[in-house]
Structure 1
Amino acid sequence: MKLNKRVLLMGLSLSVLSTMSFAEQASNAQAVFNDAYQNYLNAVKTKENMQQAAEQAYTLGKAVYGDNSDNTANLAINYAKSINGYGKKWIEKRFSLYQQAYTISVNNHGNKSLETVDSLVGMANFAPSAQKADYYLDQVIAIANTENKPKFLADMKLEAATILANKFSYEKYREAKNYLEEADEYYQANLPKNSVEQIKADFLMASFAEGRKRYDHAIERLNRVVKVFDENLSYDHSAELTAHSRLIGLYEKKGKSDEATKHCIAIAKMVPWKESQEQTPLYRVEPKYPKNKARFSKDGSVVMEFQVDESGFVKNPQVLSSEGGLAFEKSAVEALAQWRYAPKFEHGKAVAATSKVQLDFKIRR
């Protein structure tokens, strides 16, 4: 009996020691995760190494919190959003992470819960087909409808319109258009013109209008965006730059080069011209492939030097070298003459500058 008692006491002692060791290990794992998560937050602020930091936080957090924790779902979403690769591998990786988060949220909160919305939107964004994307977005809208929050519903419709328009416009054009118009109607009635949501809607409405060759309506929407930034911000913004750039193309399509010039100059003031850089066209017309060259699958290239004048027009294009013959040269010069650029600025004034470009003609085989 005494021996048995000693054995029992020894077993209890080892059990206590084992429990303390496990607790210490868990504490250490939590501390390591906390450091990794802080590193991720820092990466988000600096916008450097986000994907690596998010992956590490996700891996460590999953070990700490387990496969079925809301924390793990959130870390999976963070990781998916931070991935910057665009190949098939990364598209599938994003979808898998959002799917994992969705499964966790459904198990913990139900398939009609608000907690599933982020992962549903993510799955729609990286869905393998338009039908799948539409299916996930229908669920998002259904959930938003139950929340009795009109702005949230409008935001989800804008999100759905953006995904369908950008990735599945051919198959889901009508659905995207309907979502966008409903969101835009709410924003125009309830939000100021300088709201982020209204600006996003204006951009997308302009894209739909341009796609249907309703250039005047597209111009109206983008000019609204430019006006918002001119009246409300003392600094330049990438969205303003994009609006100016798109307006140049639209005005050129309407044959209103003078109007386009205003936006060429606006961009030149926003983006300082550097001596070492080649100027990038804001509006370009693709050269026509010479029929006699296309008939015999002949490739070619043309290098040209030209001036960008004070208004952003191309002047005096000269062929420096070419391959394939005079037909390519003629086509390249004719196209280049229609391009528009932001002029170079010196001491606050637009001046002419010399630039170069190479146009390549290649038959797809």
Structure 2
Amino acid sequence: MKFRFRLRRQIFATTLGLTLISVSSLPVSASEFSDSYSAYLQAVTDNDDEQARKLAEQTYRLGQAKFDKGSINLANLAFNYAGELADIAEQHVQANNLYLEVLASYRVEFGNEAIELIDPLVGAAQTSSSAKKAKAFFYEALELTEEADNKLVHADMLEATFDHLNRTDQYNRTVRDFMFEAHDIYKDELPEGALKRVTSAFTVASINFVEKKNTEETILLLEEVVKQFSVLDYNHPYELRAHAYLVDLYEREGESSKSTQHCIAIGSMRPWLGDQEQVPLYRHSPNYPKSYARKGKEGWVQLSFTIDESGFVTDPKIIDSKGGSRFETESLKVIQKWRYAPKFVNGKSVAAPSTVQLDYTMAKSR
């Protein structure tokens, strides 16, 4: 995600989100640099990523011969080159070194509390190999956006910090709450159908879903996500997942009738193939027979059944089994609690057969 570009547009309104270079200090004969920089800008305009990366490096190397080390012009060239490398995981070390170079120059030029530091701080955070260092960069950027008198910019930074750190060992309650704070700002500052507001609602709902907290609020958020995405002329991945979460939540609450509409919605969204096995949306785990567990008895049960037009399991039958009749009894009982996305044919949900195997195994002690 080129978060640095979005911030720069909002704060500095720089054309294309690129750092502009002052060439007034260069002799008119320095056409090689000017041509290279102009070609770079054109490559960005044309969305030619490969050419943009090549020209960003070329212009930066030419700039090293033209500008003093530590100068703001060279820092700006380094920033552009780092931005082109940042989207390639294998180039993160080099990109990070460039962002650190930019930061050092910007601190001298603008001071430690300048908003100009925000973009290179985010770049350094997103390309750092250390989650701890990334967190420090993000937190410094958050302090700056909080003082920038632009709530949406601050919300973007809160979201970017959460998005990066929630996949690291630096994730904690504070980072979690950044996403909730960002969503609150989006609700206040953006209209109901704004994509950023809807996607942040989905993220907050997902956190609640995983933590199994605030079920009522989570359902309301997910229903809003479904409502907003339903008007699109394509299926957004968040819409599919929101329906799946709602199936699970309504089943947990014992409201199968409400989960049905979401089962059907998912079925209509999936590119079902004639021979494709259907995937359950809600699964209730079988109870392990206590007498079998005491004896360490293991086994499996294969079942066939029909998934009706509403995604309910009907007419379950045992195909084969191993381990004993109590595994069969428990399997028949639990499979009827599962919910599926029904299969669609010519735009209508239809009943379709399916099979599954339930395995009963004991955890191995070490």
Q: Give your verdict on TM over 0.5.
A: yes
Q: Which amino acid aligns with 2:221?
A: R
Q: How far did 1:229 drift?
A: 2.2
Q: Which amino acid aligns with 1:309?
A: D
SS at match of 1:302: strand
1:1-365 correspondence to structure 2 within 5 Å: 41=47, 62=57, 65-66=60-61, 70=76, 73-83=79-89, 96=93, 99-110=96-107, 113-123=117-127, 128-129=130-131, 131-165=132-166, 167=168, 172-177=172-177, 179-210=178-209, 211-230=211-230, 232-291=231-290, 300-362=299-361, 363=363
- Give the direction of change, closer, same or farther, for the CA distance of 1:351–1:74 in structure 2 (3 Å limit): same
Q: How far did 1:259 drift?
A: 0.3
**TM-score relative to the length of structure 2:** 0.70
Q: For the residues of structure 1 that align with 2:163 and 2:225, how far apart are their CA atoms? A: 17
Q: Residue deviations 1:149-178, cap 9 Å, x none?
A: 221011111222344445458x5124422x
Identity %: 32
Q: For the residues of structure 1 that align with 2:82 and 2:141, how far apart are their CA atoms? A: 19
**TM-score relative to the length of structure 1:** 0.70
Q: Residue deviations 1:7-46, cap 9 Å, x none?
A: xxxxxxxxxxxxxxxx9xx99xx79x98xx79x9568xxx
Q: For the residues of structure 2 that align with 1:78 and 1:322, how far apart are their CA atoms? A: 57
Q: For the residues of structure 1 that align with 2:276 and 2:289, how far apart are their CA atoms? A: 31
Q: Residue deviations 1:190-209, cap 9 Å, x none?
A: 20111122112211221343
Q: Is the 8 A contact 1:77 1:97 kept in 2?
A: no
- Give the direction of change, closer, same or farther, for the CA distance of 1:358–1:120 in structure 2 (3 Å limit): farther
Q: For the residues of structure 2 that align with 1:302 and 1:57, how far apart are their CA atoms? A: 57
SS at match of 2:340: coil
Kindly report structure 1 stretches of 4+ aligned residues shifted beyond 6 Å: none
Q: For the residues of structure 2 that align with 1:286 and 1:94, how far apart are their CA atoms? A: 44
Q: CA RMSD in A?
A: 3.9
Q: Is the 8 A contact 2:121 2:138 kept in 1?
A: no
Which moves more between the two structures, 341-350 or 245-254? 341-350
Q: Is the 8 A contact 2:122 2:137 kept in 1?
A: no
Q: For the residues of structure 2 that align with 1:74 and 1:287, how far apart are their CA atoms? A: 56
Q: Which amino acid aligns with 1:118?
A: V
Higher helix share: 1
Structure 1 portions without partners, runs of 5+: 1-22, 44-52, 84-92
Q: For the residues of structure 2 that align with 1:296 and 1:137, how far apart are their CA atoms? A: 54
Which moves more between the two structures, 302-311 or 291-300? 291-300
Q: How far did 1:345 drift?
A: 1.9
Matched length: 314
Structure 2 portions without partners, runs of 5+: 1-29, 65-73
- Give the direction of change, closer, same or farther, for the CA distance of 1:82–1:330 in structure 2 (3 Å limit): farther
